[in-house]
Amino acid sequence: MDVPFIAVAVFVAVLILLPLYRVLAGPTLFDRVIAAGLIGTKGAVLLAILGFVYGRIDMFIDLALVYAVLNFIGTIATGKYLEKRRGGKL
Amino acid sequence: MTILAAILVFCGLFFLTVSSVGIIRLPDFYTRTHAVGKSETLGAMLVIGGLAIYNGLELSTVKLLLMLLFIALVNPTATHVIARAAIRSALQPWVKGGRKESVESAEDRIVEEAVSEIDDSGKKA
């Protein structure tokens, strides 16, 4: 349990709260999707930092990698889905 | 090595802060893609790179570098896909002081101007 890593982890966790406002209040659907992607990337970084907080980076780095991949797949799938309904209501 | 890692991590935290503030403060979707596509990618890469330097030579370091490479490739790609979906479903970009004409009429006007210029140069020759 290193104190600097705990401080960095808390800071990133606070930063995750800011895009959450855009997810809740975003004027269009695309704003929500892109803010959710931002939360996902920051979450993957937070997981990597948490690995150093608990001293078990060999376990947490796998979780962070999978989280980044799933975040990417979710964003791409949403983008392809939204592309099909042209001229639809946003 | 620890000092270098700390410098990288704190630079990365700065860029993560910039992206978080940017997605709240910027005026419309197309400007917000800058916060997600550039600041967030650089910030995440710097933090992960700092952690990899701190970790030293291990298998976990290879995985951290793999994650760095993955974020560098994937984050701008995902942003681009969403931006393309937005522009194909005719989301209008924000303009300062309100929109005067639609995108279609602006395109028509630009094409007409280009055609008239070509006609003028043809008459001169």
Q: For B25, which residue in chain A has the nearest alpha carbon?
A: A22
Chain B within 8 Å of A50 (Cβ-Cβ)? no
Cβ under 8 Å to B: A residues 59-88: 61-62, 64-65, 68-69, 72, 75-76, 78-80, 82-83, 85-88
Mean pLDDT of B67-85: 91
Query: ipTM of this predicted complex?
Result: 0.86
Q: For A59, which residue in chain B has the nearest alpha carbon?
A: B60
Reduce the DSSP state of residue B87 to 3 states and report it.
Answer: helix
Give the model's confidence band at A63: pLDDT under 50 very low, under 70 low, under 90 confident, else very high. very high
Q: Tell me, what's the pLDDT at B27?
A: 86
Domain boundaries, chain A: 3-84
Say if the Cβ atoms of A61 and B71 lie within 8 Å: no
Length of chain A: 90
CB-based contact A62:B63 (threshold 8 Å): yes
DSSP A1: -
Most confident residue range from A2-6, A8-12, B86-90: A8-12
Bigger pLDDT: A86 vs B71:
B71
CB pairs under 8 A between A and B: 139
pTM of the model: 0.80
Chain A within 8 Å of B91 (Cβ-Cβ)? yes
Question: Phi and psi at residue B94, in whole multiples of 5°?
Answer: -80, 140
For chain B, give the percent of residues with pLDDT over 70: 89
Bigger pLDDT: B125 vs B78:
B78
Closest CA to B71 of B105, B41, B29, B26: B41
